[in-house]
Structures are given as C-alpha cells and as structure tokens.
C-alpha cells in the first residue's frame, strides 16, 4: 500500500518477518521512481552519511559492492628496486608502498597495457597511464643522525611517505600544484640504521579494488536498515522515566503532553538494536522494535584518493554502465545477434587447446 512502510519486527531473540518470497519485480520497478529518495545526513571530504529510501536490499548491496570494488583509483603497482640495504625485505617494502593512498583523478588516466612475461618495462609507463615516484634515502652516521635530530637517544632514521618524490611526466607538468600526489605525508614506510639506504622508483597506475585492495577507494562502506520504534500505548510517568534510563544510546526523551511526562523517540538513528528496551519480558508489550526494510542508512568513509562526497556519484555511474551493458546484451540476445568477435576468438582458442591436448595424449600412448 502507498505510504505503508515495510517493517520487520525485532524480538529479543532476533529478527523475524524479513523473508518475502512473493516479490513482484514489475510492481517494484513501477514504483521505484516515485519512492526512491536520497537524503544527505552529513558529509565531508573524509566521510558521507546518507539515507537511501525506497529500494530493495539487493540494490543497496550492489551500491556497497561497487563502492568497494569497482570505482577506479590510482595506486602504486610497479616498483623498480635499485638498492635496499634496510632490514625490510623488498617484497614487504613494495607492498607497503602499494597501500599508500594516491591523490589523483583516475578518470584523467588510461588503464595500462597488460604486463608481458617479465612484467612491465619502464617504457610501458607514460604520462597518460601512470604517476612516477622516486624514493632515495640514506641514513647518515650515528653522530650526524643524533646531531640532526638534536637527540642523543636516536638510533635510527624513520622513513615517511613524504620522502616519496613525485616526478611529473609530460602533460602532468601543467597540472596545478597539489592536484596530484600523496594523501598523507606521515605514513611510516620503514626504519634505517646508520649506513643503510633505499633507492627505488615506482609507478602508480589505474585499477579497481576487485583486482587488489590497494585500489579500493573506501576504508568502509556499510549500511544498516533504519530502526522503527513504536509504542502501542503512550508511556507516561514512571514507565517513561524508566524506559528512558534503560536505553544506553539515548534514543528516548521525555516531553510534557497534557501535563504528563510522555516518552517519545528523539534520536532513532542512535539505535543499535541492542534490544535493552525489550530485554525485560514486561517491556516487550510496551515497545515494538523493528527495522524498515526499504530504508537504508549508508556510511561511506574515503581513503582520501577520492573525496567521500564524490564517491557515491561515481559508484552510481559505474552501476548505471553495468545496467546499460546488461540491457544491451539482452536486446542483442533477443534480436538474435550473432556471437561477437571476441567470443568467437575465445571459442577458437578453446578448440585449439583441446586439439593440443588430444595430440599430447596420442603421443603419450605411442
């Protein structure tokens, strides 16, 4: 019914009435434009919290998965190690470099070509598909180190991400200062003892979190269904005071209605479904606790590669492109369009591999 919220009841033992087997897809899509709403609750460059209303959990989860795995970013993917005499192995140092958030608009870059048998060569990296960083650090003698730090207790040199120097290539030279670079300068990479040194060059390329977590633009992307808290009968007087004290999250408050202290829901988003309000059997008839099944509270925190308020529009654009691809392929299938050239090529390769296996089996028998 229009205006009626689909609520799943929450009992002390758990959630019930959440499975719906008679889901009419056509009816759901017909009302999607009318019911869909997005309300921004808070936003900054680091985090955005918004409410997504009028959609199925499958769509909310699709948006969450796209945010985590399919919004492209830039991350260090290739390192050419010239020298490393630190105690940290080359592989570990390279892995740490890959996890440093890179501030750059991935839409301004192309995907790099697939690597060859021996990986990428320096010639594969250009100003259109990569960012180049250099790291050249040498720890001086102990006396010089202590003198520079003005501290006699210093025994090693801490290498931070700020030691990574951006070397702009080609068209990148025209970009304003600060548009590309590192998100954080204070990430510890390793520590060097006197006489130890690191000399390397590395390249950040475009990718998605589906391939590796270092390309994921979010620290967290989570959602929860909006709480629904109702009172079958008004709670007044001592009952209202007692219920307000029971809730550890400050969801309830007292207001004066008709000269009586009456309980009301003041901060429903603070509710964590701890179920303290219905822990006692006598309270379970006073409070009806539930969740609204088509109302989701999203919290998205960015790594800094992309501002949080830009992440959701980009994720929606990726989701839109995926839907358009599915629609196009379904239309081609319906119209009897022959298999595309790429599919034909894959089929040809499979046939050749089968023939090679058959020849190998014949040779083994002989």
Count of Cβ atoms closer than 10 Å to residue 275 Cβ: 16
Confidence (pTM): 0.79
Angstrom distance (rounded) from CA 96 to CA 202: 12
* Burial of 135 (C-beta count, 10 Å sphere; 0-12/13-18/19+): buried
Query: For residue 223, what are the β-bridge partners?
Result: 298
DSSP conformation class of 100: S
- By mean pLDDT, which of 21-35, 184-198, 305-319 is the weakest? 21-35
- The answer, yes or no, to whether residue 93 has pLDDT greater than 60, is yes
| DSSP secondary structure, 264-312, as one string | EES-GGG-----GGGSSGGGTTT-EEEEEEEEEEEEEEE-SSS-HHHHH
Architecture of the 7-69+219-301 domain: 2-Layer Sandwich (3.30)
Containing H/E element for 332?
Answer: helix 308-334
Report residue 302: phi and psi, to 5°: -85, 150
> So what's the pLDDT on residue 116?
78
Identify which has the larger pLDDT, 220 or 358: 220
Count of Cβ atoms closer than 10 Å to residue 212 Cβ: 13
Angstrom distance (rounded) from CA 82 to CA 138: 13
Angstrom distance (rounded) from CA 148 to CA 143: 9
Domain ranges, ordered by start, for the chain = 7-69+219-301, 73-216
Angstrom distance (rounded) from CA 288 to CA 306: 41
- The answer, yes or no, to whether residue 45 has pLDDT greater than 90, is no
> So what's the pLDDT on residue 21?
47
Which pLDDT tens digit goes with each residue over 215-225?
Answer: 999 999 999 99
Q: CB neighbours of 210 closer than 8 A, spacing ≥ 6?
A: 69, 70
- The answer, yes or no, to whether residue 25 has pLDDT greater than 90, is no
- The answer, yes or no, to whether residue 351 has pLDDT greater than 80, is no
Query: 197-207 and 165-167: which strand pairing?
Result: unpaired
> So what's the pLDDT on residue 3?
57
Domain 7-69+219-301 shares a fold with domain 73-216: no
pLDDT (average), residues 258-282? 90
Which pLDDT tens digit goes with each residue over 110-156?
Answer: 999 888 777 888 899 999 999 999 999 999 888 888 888 777 777 88
* Burial of 192 (C-beta count, 10 Å sphere; 0-12/13-18/19+): buried
Angstrom distance (rounded) from CA 34 to CA 222: 25
Angstrom distance (rounded) from CA 11 to CA 52: 25
Query: For residue 191, what are the β-bridge partners?
Result: 158
Domain 73-216 has CATH 2.170.120.12: yes
How far CA 235 is from CA of 70, 157, 246, 286, in Å, comes to 48, 64, 14, 8
Percentage above 70 pLDDT, the chain: 87
Which pLDDT tens digit goes with each residue over 304-328?
Answer: 999 998 999 999 999 999 999 999 9
Angstrom distance (rounded) from CA 292 to CA 224: 10
DSSP conformation class of 70: T
- Mean pLDDT of the chain, nearest integer: 87
123, 132 in Cβ contact below 8 A?
Answer: no
214, 87 in Cβ contact below 8 A?
Answer: no
Give the pair of three-digit tokens for residue 109: 């870059």
Split at pLDDT 50, 70, 90, the class of 1 is very low
- The answer, yes or no, to whether residue 340 has pLDDT greater than 70, is no
* Burial of 127 (C-beta count, 10 Å sphere; 0-12/13-18/19+): middle
> So what's the pLDDT on residue 153?
76
CA angle 118, 120, 305 (to 5 degrees): 135
Which pLDDT tens digit goes with each residue over 202-213?
Answer: 999 999 999 999
């Amino acid at each position: 019914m229009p205006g009626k919220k689909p609520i799943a009841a929450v009992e002390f033992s758990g959630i019930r009435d959440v499975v719906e087997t008679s889901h009419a897809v056509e009816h759901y899509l017909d009302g999607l434009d009318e019911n869909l709403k997005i309300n921004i609750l808070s936003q900054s460059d680091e985090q955005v919290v918004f409410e997504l209303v009028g959609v199925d959990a499958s769509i909310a989860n699709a948006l969450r998965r796209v945010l985590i795995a399919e919004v492209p970013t830039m991350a260090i993917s290739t390192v050419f190690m010239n020298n490393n005499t630190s105690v940290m192995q080359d592989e570990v140092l390279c892995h740490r470099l890959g996890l440093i958030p890179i501030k750059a608009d991935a839409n301004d870059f192309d995907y790099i070509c697939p690597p060859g048998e021996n990986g990428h060569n320096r010639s594969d990296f250009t100003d259109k598909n990569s960012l180049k960083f250099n790291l050249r650090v040498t720890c001086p003698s102990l006396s010089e180190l202590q003198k520079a730090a003005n501290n006699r207790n210093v025994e090693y040199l801490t290498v931070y991400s700020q030691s990574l120097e951006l070397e702009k290539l080609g068209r990148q030279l025209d970009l304003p200062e600060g548009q590309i670079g590192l998100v954080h300068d204070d990430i510890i990479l390793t520590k060097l003892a006197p006489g130890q040194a690191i000399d390397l060059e590395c390249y950040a390329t475009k990718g998605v979190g589906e391939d590796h977590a270092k390309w994921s633009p979010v620290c967290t992307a989570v959602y929860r269904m909006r709480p629904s808290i109702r009172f079958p009968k008004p709670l007044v007087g001592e009952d209202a005071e007692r219920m307000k004290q029971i809730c550890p999250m400050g969801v309830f408050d007292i207001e004066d209605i008709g000269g009586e202290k009456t309980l009301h829901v003041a901060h429903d988003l603070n509710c964590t479904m701890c179920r303290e309000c219905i822990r006692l059997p006598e309270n379970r008839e006073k409070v009806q606790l539930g969740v609204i099944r088509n109302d989701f509270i999203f919290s998205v925190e960015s790594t800094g590669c992309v501002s949080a308020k830009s992440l959701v529009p980009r994720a929606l654009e990726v989701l839109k492109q995926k839907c358009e691809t599915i629609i196009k392929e379904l239309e081609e299938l319906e119209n009897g369009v022959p298999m595309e050239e790429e599919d034909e090529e894959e089929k040809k390769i499979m046939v050749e591999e089968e023939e090679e296996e058959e020849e190998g089996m014949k040779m083994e028998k002989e």
